[in-house]
Structure 1
């Protein structure tokens, strides 16, 4: 399961809406606590794909490594990636499968114009080489209330 505060989810989705009609992307940073991936920071990244960004995204490896180094000093790790699918469902594409790493959470948002039409979290099964949907808990900070999708 992945747990994300509403405030961080909103920050992530705003970045993805601003990227439309191209795919937006970024990193999910936090900790793994009792098997739950707890998001403590979202890091919007530029889409570095050298081609049609409407259907592809790429995160610059040097930018990724800089975030990884910075967060390690805070005792946090990169636990996943988020990206958008403009005018397409929030399900992994064949391209997503080809470029995914086992162990990471992939949060995908379906974006159309200035609206998010759907959001889902996925994790790659490294043995079977297929994505499985991961439960996502959205936490309302300060209330202790949560919702799952």
Structure 2
């Protein structure tokens, strides 16, 4: 389960709209309590994919490390990553499944014609190697 404040989700949506038609991506920052990922903020990342950025994203490992170190200094953790699916549903692609890592929540935002229309959360099942839907709670 992931809990995310509506204001953080709004900010993520704005970031995804601004980067449309490319896939936007970034980090979900917060803490884990009793297995629940509680997001307190997000940090946008640069899509460093060298191919079609309208269909793929890649977070540079050095950027990941820098954000992780900054986050840990603040007493928080990277609890997940987000990315947009321009003009596509908010479900994992085969590429998403192949590149998912354990312990992170994946928030996918469907952006249609520049407007975010759907959000879904996913987590890797380490037995099947596939992303499975995770419960997403939006906090007011």
TM-score normalised according to structure 1 size: 0.91
Residue 14 of structure 1 and its aligned partner are, at CA, apart by 0.7
5+ long unaligned stretches in structure 2: none
CA distance in 2, matches of 1:53, 1:114: 15
Question: Any idea what the Cα deviations from partners look like across 1:27-56, whole Å, max 9, x if unmatched?
Answer: 001100121100011001111101110100
CA distance in 2, matches of 1:67, 1:119: 23
Equivalence for 2:17: 17
5+ long unaligned stretches in structure 1: 141-149
Equivalence for 2:135: 135
Moved over 4 A (4+): none
Equivalence for 1:30: 30
Aligned length, in residue pairs: 140
Q: Larger C-alpha radius of gyration, 1 or 2? A: 1
Cα RMSD (Å): 0.8
Question: Any idea what the Cα deviations from partners look like across 1:111-147, whole Å, max 9, x if unmatched?
Answer: 012311211000010111111101111111xxxxxxx
Question: Any idea what the Cα deviations from partners look like across 1:80-121, whole Å, max 9, x if unmatched?
Answer: 110000111000000001110011100001101231121100
CA distance in 2, matches of 1:103, 1:65: 16
SS at match of 1:88: coil
Residue 3 of structure 1 and its aligned partner are, at CA, apart by 0.3
CA distance in 2, matches of 1:69, 1:101: 19
SS at match of 1:43: strand
Equivalence for 2:82: 82
Equivalence for 1:64: 64
Equivalence for 2:46: 46
SS at match of 2:11: helix
CA contact (8 A) 2:21 2:114 kept: no
SS at match of 2:106: strand
